[in-house]
Structure 1
Amino acid sequence: MKLLKKLGLGFLGLLTLLIAVSFLLPGKVRVERSLVMKASAATTFEQVNTLKNWEKWSPWHQMDPNMKITYEGPEAGTGAKYSWVGEEMGTGSLTIAGSQPHQAIKTALNFGNMGTSFAEYKFETVGEGTKVTWAMESDTKDMPWQWYVPSKYMNLFMEDMLAADFDKGLANLKEVVEKLPVAPAYKVEEKNIPATHVLTIKATCSQNDLSQKLGELYSEIAAYMQKNKLDFAGQPFAIYHKYDPAAIELEAGIPVNKPGNSAGRIQARERKAGPVAMIAHYGKYEDSYNAHMHMDSWLTQNKKTAIGAPWEVYVTDPAKEKDPEKWLTEVYYPL
């Protein structure tokens, strides 16, 4: 009994010592790694901003390739989220808490009862390409009380533990982006557009059904035009009021030579005159995403604000031009 009592007192003394020492250990730890990649800021940013791309480069995905991943929210940008369950990685979730096009991304990494850690990714254009910096900060004050003391001791090893993961992840990201096709060089043009009579239909569809849906809407408008003796006064366009890949809220339209009358779901109205910023995109329709990303960056850098939903004008008729690389799409943002 005396031996057990001594062992118990010894253990209690050791525990008390560990707790006391923990208050002297650093409570906040920051790990940061950087790597230059021969790719544009837009290209590297997209690989981090779109969570499904993480499967190509994230070191944690490679550690537990059989873990089950569930995606929620938008496909990219603020609010995008994935949760995981795995034998090696346990359970948790990652959410994009902030996204500044081509410049910075902030993520919140939730480990359940172990609390939340925040990471940031910065994209800096340099002579050789883009310098990507990956940093994570952990603060024990944000931990649940039962993890406070253990987390203080874990902080002693965190830099070594995470640095290797960050280095591997950045190396993987570098390999991925440097193999991707070079993004086209875009030029933003500011101009004023005249008022135009248009016929439009609002609809909602998924990204996978977008081309088919637009074709149906344009056919319906064209039939109305023929019936009411209205002529084309420009190329078909689509206004994107909300772009969620699962439920895109859009408005398909065709400019006409004179005012029409609304009928059913077809709305006849005037598109207002005013200043716009425009990018000419050549290539597949789905690749116009790069033009929108470039426009977001241009607006930020030039301290300008879009005052309405963007729209795309489909200048080239794919029925006449079979080469997708020659398809011209004009991307407009009202200023």
Structure 2
Amino acid sequence: MRILKYLFLLFLLLSTAFVVFVATQPGDYKIMRKKEINISKDVLYHFISDTTSLNDWSPWEKDEISLVNKNLSSTDSIAHTIILNEEKTSSLFHFQKTKKGTIVTWEVNGKLDLKLKILSVIKGGATNVVGSELEKGLANIDHYLVNEIANYTIKINGLVTKNTTNYIQQETTCAVADFQKTSKAMLQNMVSFVTKNDIKITGLPFVIYKTKKTSDNKTVFAMCVPVEEEILTTEGSEISGGHFDSFLAVKATLNGDYSHNEKAWKEARKYMNKSKLSENLIGKPIEIYKVSLPKERKPSKWVTEIYIPVQQKISAPKPESTEVAPSSESNLNTNPVQ
């Protein structure tokens, strides 16, 4: 019994000594890791600066961390304030263009809490503990951008009829490069609006382009949600009601990240030229987000449908026995552009 008592006292003494030793270890750290990623500098900058994408690459659990952009003055670097387990940490990403892609340098400066101090003593220093987390984060960014974003397909569905639709909309102008971030925030606002006002939604959210791309590289668009009945709002409201009648359009489908959107538009216009179809400039091009955030986080599984209004060709009427009226979204020509 006396031996057990001595062993317990010895264990208590050693434990106390260990805690004191850990507590007296240096608390400040500055650690840096690098990785070359085969993606352009601009894509990396926009991805990492978008705080809503944090869960797609962060090496920490989402309930442990929050991220605040501190400095976005250039596309060469991003300064963050990371709040990790209630401790503030300075984070700096730097981007250097290479022949293959971009060297991403991630540097963090912070203080070790007691938990990290214990891990540092066990694993041989803060460099091993925090450094491995930085390496994991860079590997996550590499995997997400190279494997997820690079995986896409474009299909030309052909000529279809788009149904008459009532909708509510919020209109804005932003830089083309900021479209994804801006449209995400607007969609959240629209969802909040319909929930608060108990409005029945009849389909998927979509964008109507007022001007796809201006001379100063901006886009003018309305984020829309289809509704059962036409909505009237008060003058000056940021959200208003809208409506379009059925129209003939060339439809293209992008399976993959939205960064390939311009390629899908080019393929659709190439199909129009090949088929000798003219765009109906009175109508407005539409994009429908059939599969997207927040329900699906993997970009390779996103589905975006593009509708470009075209002018209906006027031709001599066919005999009644052979005339076939196009049905809603029926494919009048489904041969994809090669």
TM-score between the two structures when normalised by the length of structure 1:
0.43
TM score, norm. by length of structure 2: 0.43
